[in-house]
């Protein structure tokens, strides 16, 4: 189907199904139960899953395939975001032009940075991209404030021109991002028993783009171009002596991944029209590296899983405070309750970074292939239990 192999088609269909059903799948606990804390099925987080999924999918096209580790991709996310907000301010609250311009601006920006940075490889390349991103961040935060609104971040205001939509809403409130009239924050709430599910318009817009991005990624992975990118990673010397010029291949991969980042940035502002300078900081770039590796670099689904896991921890873990802990363990005798709460306390709430750090270490140490490898190991374990112990291990795809 769609020019994909059977295996890829199945993966693609699974991803589509998961994305469509996410509002239900991510809310497994009744909204009044104590475990509702772990529900992730609210629009903001679900949108973030997809947006950062797109960011990581794009990053993986560069890092996973060519092995070039960029610490500067946050700059493209930020550039896309700023471009998006400016489109909202100047042109129209329709998200489509904003997203397209975001992709375009990030693309142009990545051509410039990529052209310079790709003159070097290895850690020299990483440092060059880091330098570019940090410069963008520092300037966006201070000198470029007229364009970026500095620390506060660029946001909409009532006196924006917005030449297509005309003036702000009559009641003096800010206009809302929409897709040909469908507001991004529109949603359908379904309460079913103790459960409640929110189907949000913005989420499904992200879903369309994410599915598209995933499809493009599969096509690239399976294309001759994708094969060339893997060749870049494997042996650049052989590649040159085979008559292939590695530079345009890496630049193309860099720009494609930059445009994915721009798309993610554009979607971020389409969901929530504010673009802050922190989006360009190197720690943001570090985050997407972590997502990619955590999920499994060079795999199709890995980056999406990694992005989901990190965003989940960030949003869910950081909200678990001592009160919540006490609530959970209140069935225990007070002494034991306090001991357990004290034990868990350092890892949640304000300590969620600690959990994150420990998890990276654990994954890198025990699962160099990331979550995907973990999944394969479990699958292999299950298969071995069922079948002949001498089954030949399939090479990992």
- Asked whether position 374 contacts another protein by CB under 8 A, the answer is no
Q: In the range 167-196, which residues lie near another protein by CB under 8 A? A: 171-174, 176, 183, 185-195
Q: What is the dihedral of CA 215, 217, 221, 225, to 10 degrees?
A: 110
Q: What is the DSSP letter of 65?
A: I
Closest residue by Cα to residue 293 from 364, 213, 210, 221 = 364
Q: Which of residues 321-350 bind another protein (CB under 8 A)?
A: 321, 323, 326-328, 330-331, 334, 337, 346, 349-350
Q: Figure out which of the listed residues 14, 112, 147, 158 binds another protein, where binding follows CB under 8 A.
A: 158
Site for another protein in 272-311 (CB under 8 A): 272, 274, 276, 278-279, 282-283, 286, 289-290, 293, 297
7, 180, 365, 393: which one binds another protein (CB under 8 A): 365
Nearer to another protein, 140 or 382 (CB): 140
Cβ-contact 90, 152 below 8 angstroms: no
Q: Write down the H helix ranges in 330-386.
A: 334-344, 352-366, 370-386
Q: Which is nearer to another protein, 209 or 249 (CB)?
A: 249
Nearest approach in angstroms of CB 166 to another protein is: 17
Q: Give the C-alpha distances (Å, rounded to integers) separating 58 from 74, 216, 240.
A: 12, 10, 25
- Which segment (93-101, 104-112, 360-368, 382-390) binds another protein by CB under 8 A? 360-368
Question: Does residue 391 belong to the site contacting another protein (CB under 8 A)?
Answer: no
User: Which lies closer to another protein via its Cβ, residue 13 or residue 158?
Assistant: 158
Residues 34-53 that bind another protein (CB under 8 A): 34, 39, 42-45, 48
Contacts of 33 (CB under 8 A, 6+ apart): 194
Q: Under the criterion CB under 8 A, does residue 383 sit at the interface with another protein?
A: no
Instruction: Specify the stretch interacting with another protein by CB under 8 A; choose among 17-25, 104-112, 149-157, 385-393.
Output: 149-157
**Site for another protein, residues 239 to 278, rule: CB under 8 A:** 239-245, 248-249, 252, 256, 272, 274, 276, 278
Q: DSSP assignment of 346-359, as one string?
A: GGSGGGHHHHHHHH
CB-based contact 87:262 (threshold 8 Å): no
Site residues (CB under 8 A) for another protein, limited to 88-117 = 116
Is 365:294 a contact under the CB 8 Å cutoff? no
- The label of the residue with tokens 């966006």 reads 140
CA distance 72 to 324: 38
């Amino acid at each position: 189907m769609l020019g994909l192999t059977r295996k890829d088609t199945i993966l693609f269909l699974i991803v589509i199904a998961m994305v469509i059903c996410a509002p239900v799948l991510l809310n497994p606990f009744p909204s009044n139960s104590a475990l509702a804390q772990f529900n992730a099925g609210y629009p903001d987080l679900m949108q973030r899953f997809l947006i950062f999924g797109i960011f990581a999918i794009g990053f993986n096209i560069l890092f996973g395939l060519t092995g070039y580790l960029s610490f500067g991709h946050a700059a493209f996310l930020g550039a896309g975001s700023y471009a998006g907000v400016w489109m909202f301010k100047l042109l129209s609250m329709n998200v489509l032009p904003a997203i397209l311009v975001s992709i375009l601006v990030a693309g142009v920006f990545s051509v410039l940075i990529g052209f310079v940075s790709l003159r070097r490889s290895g850690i020299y390349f990483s440092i060059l991209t880091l330098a570019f991103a940090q410069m963008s961040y520092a300037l966006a935060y201070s000198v470029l404030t007229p364009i970026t609104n500095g620390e506060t971040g660029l946001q909409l205001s009532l006196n924006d021109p917005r030449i297509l939509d005309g003036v702000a809403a009559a009641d003096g409130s800010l206009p809302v991002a929409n897709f040909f009239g469908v507001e991004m924050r529109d949603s359908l709430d379904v309460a079913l028993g103790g459960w409640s599910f929110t189907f949000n318009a913005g989420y499904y817009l992200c879903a369309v783009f994410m599915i598209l991005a995933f499809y493009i990624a599969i096509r690239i992975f399976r294309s001759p171009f994708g094969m060339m990118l893997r060749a870049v990673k494997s042996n650049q010397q052989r590649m040159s002596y085979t008559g292939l010029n590695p530079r345009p291949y890496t630049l193309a991969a860099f720009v494609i991944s930059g445009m994915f980042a721009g798309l993610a940035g554009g979607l971020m502002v389409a969901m929530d029209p504010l673009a802050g300078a922190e989006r360009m900081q190197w720690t943001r770039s570090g985050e997407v590296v972590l997502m990619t590796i955590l999920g499994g670099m060079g795999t199709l689904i890995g980056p999406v899983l990694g992005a989901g896991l990190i965003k989940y921890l960030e949003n869910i873990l950081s909200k678990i405070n001592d009160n919540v802990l006490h609530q959970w363990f209140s069935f225990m005798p007070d002494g034991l309750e306090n001991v357990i709460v004290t034990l868990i306390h350092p890892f949640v709430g304000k300590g969620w970074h600690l959990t994150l750090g420990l998890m990276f270490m654990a994954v890198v140490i025990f699962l160099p292939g990331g979550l995907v490898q973990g999944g394969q190991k479990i699958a292999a374990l299950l298969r071995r239990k069922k079948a002949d112990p001498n089954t030949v291990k399939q090479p990992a795809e």
